[in-house]
Amino acid sequence: MAGGAAAISHRRVLRVALPIVLSNATIPLLGAVDTAVVGQLPEAAPIGAVGIGAVILTTIYWVFGFLRMGTTGLVAQARGAGDAGETGALLTRGLMIAFAAGLAFVLGQGALFWAAFRLAPASAEVEALARQYLAIRIWGAPATIAIYALTGWLIAMERTRAVLILQVGMNALNVVLALWLVLGLGLGVTGVATATLISEWVGLLLGLWLCRDAFAGERWRDWARVLDPQRLRRMAAVNRDILIRSVILQASFTSFLFLGAGLGDATLAANQVLLQFLTITAYALDGFAFAAEALVGQTMGRHDRGGLRRAAILCSEWGVGFSVVLAAAFLLAGPAIIDAMAAAPEVRAEARAYLPWIAAAPLLGIGAWMLDGIFIGATETRALRNAMVTAVATYVVALVLLKPPFGNHGLWAALMVLNVARGVTLALRYPALEARAENAATPGRG
């Protein structure tokens, strides 16, 4: 059978998911290496400058995560429908959005950095160095945002080994260049920024080469198709809904941090340590959610209700299995990991007190992670957005009821309620998604 119509099996799920798990494992390593390299300099200011600069750009680029998710769902559906021309046109549209957004950031960098430092003020020395860092890194904006579209296309085409090659290649080049420019040539903050800038543009070139199938023939530049108003409106609606959903979710996690700040320095530090466990959980389970995006999207494109159900079940079985492994690992190895991340005895004690919540998080959140992937693949993004609004409203009620009497335990309980509510609200909408797989002329926007 051809790729999109091949039988959905456990082997196929793992072939899509495992490279993503490995790829995600390299992401925290890069930040650690950058910090370690600049940390070899004798002053403290460069470390703070690189940290602030990286956070500013990460926050800006995070907004464009919708481009990765939206591209995956739409391309997977086009692939499932056997529309090779549309798979190429979708990548072209994604790259056009990325380059336009990147150019806007380059041209508007003055106002952007001014606003960033008003929101996150730093000492004069740190701000000056951070501005040097940002003035170099911002020129990588078109490449970085474009890589979201390229990654989404590769996932939809089930070429996640290529995603792994792209991620590892970029990170390895960044590390080598940072070591050479900072420690070898003594370029300091400028060297770290230049290393990342070069790796971003090389990563773009590598990504374009890995996606070369999309550019075979003339279909990717069939401008009547690429700029077709109806297709553009659908892509805009999908990306808009995902953006709204993601901003609401991020606001919820930010509120968790802010509310924890009022419970004392030790509790705040402990929460920050424990949130790293949640990051690990997200990276590990993303592989199976991404597999669901690709496989569910293809079945929606074929209007294959049975295939959709099988894809959802198989991907979720592996997601549940990994969540159980993570929960057990956190219970057994959690105290040692906490000790490695925090030296202060009071922070260690606080983190241990709340470790059971972290062990429960993968088990309580797996439904939300997997259903997110299923609904993104189906481009049922309006339902995804509305479900998130309902879940966050439930989270707010839980905060009001649980935090005052139970303190930080109440805060963590409310966060678990958020994840459970995300899963439940989407599960209630799942039967309609299956029905639409059979009946919708244009899946995903009913």
- Mean pLDDT value across residues 332-344: 85
Both tokens assigned to 280: 């690990």
| Claim to verify: residue 360 and residue 215 sit in the same structural domain | no
Does residue 164 lie in a domain region? yes
Do 216 and 318 belong to one domain?
no
* Same domain, residue pair 204 and 249: no
Which amino acid is residue 367, in one-letter code? G
Domain stops at, among 227, 250, 280:
227
Q: Does 386 have pLDDT greater than 60?
A: yes
The answer, yes or no, to whether residue 4 has pLDDT greater than 80, is: no
Q: Let me know whether 280 and 324 are in one domain.
A: yes
Distances (CA, A) of 206 to 10, 69, 139, 202, 203: 30, 20, 18, 6, 5
40 shares a domain with 145: yes
Cα gap 247→379, rounded to integer Å: 18
Identify the pLDDT of residue 274: 87
Within this chain, do residues 208 and 313 fall inside the same structural domain, yes or no?
no
292 within domain boundaries: yes
C-alpha of 308 from chain center: 23
Contact 158, 179 (CB under 8 A): no
Residue 123 pLDDT > 80: no
Is 226 a residue whose pLDDT tops 70? yes
Q: Domain ends where: 227, 253, 270?
A: 227
More confident residue, 302 or 219: 302
223 and 241 housed in the same domain: no
In a shared domain, residues 67 and 152: yes
Give the least confident one: 142-146, 264-268, 374-378: 264-268
Mean of pLDDT values over 304-329 = 95
Residue that terminates a domain, selected from 227, 245, 262: 227
Per-residue pLDDT, 142:
96
Closest CA relative to residue 330, chosen from 299, 354, 300, 295? 354
- Range from 14-28, 103-117, 290-304 that averages highest in pLDDT: 290-304
3-state DSSP assignment of residue 159: coil
Q: Are residues 313 and 189 in the same domain?
A: no
CA distances from 342 to 6, 269, 356 (A): 48, 9, 18
% residues pLDDT > 70 (the chain): 92
Domain assignment present for 425 = yes
Average pLDDT for 88-95? 94
Q: 399: which residues sit within 8 A by CB, 6+ positions away?
A: 255, 259, 410, 411, 414
Ramachandran angles phi, psi of 403, nearest 5°: -70, -45
What confidence score (pLDDT) does residue 325 get?
Answer: 95
Confidence band for 195, pLDDT divided at 50, 70 and 90: very high
Does residue 111 share a domain with residue 26? yes
What confidence score (pLDDT) does residue 399 get?
95
Instruction: Give the pLDDT mean for 76-96.
Output: 92
Residue 190 belongs to domain spanning: 1-227
Q: Do 212 and 242 share a structural domain?
A: no
Are 417 and 395 spatial neighbours (Cβ–Cβ below 8 Å)? yes
- Given the structure tokens 């549209």, which residue do they identify? 93
Fill in the amino acid letter for 92: T
Number of domains within the chain = 2
Asked if residue 232 belongs to a domain, the reply is no
- State residue 2's pLDDT score: 44
Same domain, 242 and 208: no
- With respect to residue 108, please indicate whether it lies within any of the assigned structural domains: yes
